[in-house]
């Protein structure tokens, strides 16, 4: 039986200034959508994270690990149980060519740190809005680069909540996939990236170019979760959606971006239900016209409002 009160009592003692009850998830996702989390705790230290998750398991309380809240959609009823927000601090130069950073550190911050030390390999990540942990998990990438190109090793809590360290070659990396997607009980604590020397002027030019291209081609002026769908083999998602006549399609406060049809945007106080209706409509139209099934890249969490009420 779930002992939510017991977990709350533990949190009040061990995280007295780092928790809240009923925290709106719309304030912690790049989509700016999502109902309340029952219990929301920010954690800085790896050992404290391990202890908190073990306590949650002892209390039979489900938990979700949160970084920057990108690439995710939280349903309108919110999240039952515990949301653990990984603190954003903790990136450092380990050796001349290696960076170590915690799972909660923004990927753009890691990219900037690499640039400051004249290290190449992470310029592609400058505009990706997520955390390092999320990027490691899904093998995030852009403009011809991806995390598997630079990851040397990853430290994580395994499904028994014991600390493990694995080499990148053991993490089953492929397009938008890693070992961790097949083992959702694992929690990425930190990663070491192996980079290479590159002239500062080249790094600055690449980062400026990628930033310019993002601003020109992506609807950065609206909240979103980034690319809504994975790229299907042999196709590009945006053109498929545009050719299906769906550019600008609106459902409630959600819209298919006219600027980049691979993005569903929060145009005007969208609900998760608006977004999910739009996703299903896009999938149906594209499959019926082109025989291509679009698989969501955005990850969906939480409950609908009806489920929360128990009706």
Task: Point out the catalytic residue in the list 176, 178, 206, 257.
Answer: 176
State which H helix or E strand residue 81 sits in: strand 79-86
Q: How many angstroms separate the most distant Cα atoms in the chain? A: 61
Beta 79-86 vs 36-43: how paired, if at all? parallel
State which H helix or E strand residue 39 sits in: strand 36-43
Catalytic annotation on 75? no
Do residues 276 and 304 touch, judged by C-beta distance below 8 A? Answer: no
Task: Point out the catalytic residue in the list 206, 227, 267, 273.
Answer: 227
Tokens of 79: 């999240």
Do residues 31 and 63 touch, judged by C-beta distance below 8 A? Answer: no
How many angstroms separate the CA atoms of 7 and 37, rounded? 14
Catalytic annotation on 227? yes
How many angstroms separate the CA atoms of 188 and 182, rounded? 13
Which class for 122: exposed (0-12), middle (13-18), buried (19 or more C-beta within 10 A)?
A: buried
Provide the annotated active-site residues.
Answer: 176, 227, 297
């Amino acid at each position: 039986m779930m002992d939510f009160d017991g977990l709350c009592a533990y949190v009040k003692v061990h995280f007295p200034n780092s928790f809240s009850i009923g925290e709106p998830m719309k304030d912690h996702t790049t989509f700016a959508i999502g109902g309340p989390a029952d219990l929301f705790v920010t954690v800085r230290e790896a050992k404290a994270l391990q202890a908190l998750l073990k306590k949650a398991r002892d209390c039979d309380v489900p938990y979700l690990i949160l970084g920057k809240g990108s690439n995710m959609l939280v349903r309108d009823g919110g999240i039952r149980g515990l949301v653990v927000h990984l603190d954003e601090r903790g990136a450092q130069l380990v050796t001349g060519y290696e960076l170590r950073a915690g799972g909660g550190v923004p990927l753009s911050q890691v990219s900037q740190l690499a640039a400051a030390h004249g290290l190449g390999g992470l310029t592609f990540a400058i505009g990706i809005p997520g955390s390092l942990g999320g990027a490691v998990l899904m093998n995030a990438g852009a403009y011809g680069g991806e995390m598997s190109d630079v990851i040397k090793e990853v430290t994580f809590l395994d499904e028994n909540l014991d600390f493990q360290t694995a080499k990148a070659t053991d993490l089953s990396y492929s397009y938008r996939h890693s070992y961790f997607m097949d083992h959702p009980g694992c929690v990425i604590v930190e990663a070491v990236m192996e980079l290479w020397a590159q002239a500062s002027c080249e790094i600055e030019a690449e980062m400026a170019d990628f930033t310019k291209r993002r601003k020109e081609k992506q609807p950065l002026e609206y909240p979103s979760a980034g690319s809504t769908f994975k790229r299907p083999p042999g196709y590009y998602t945006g053109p498929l959606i545009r050719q299906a006549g769906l550019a600008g399609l609106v459902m409630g406060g959600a819209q298919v971006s006219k600027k980049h049809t691979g993005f569903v945007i929060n145009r005007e106080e969208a609900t998760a239900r608006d977004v999910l209706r739009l996703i299903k409509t896009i999938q149906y139209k594209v499959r019926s016209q082109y025989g291509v099934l679009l698989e969501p890249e955005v990850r969906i969490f939480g409950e609908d409002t009806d489920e929360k009420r128990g009706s």
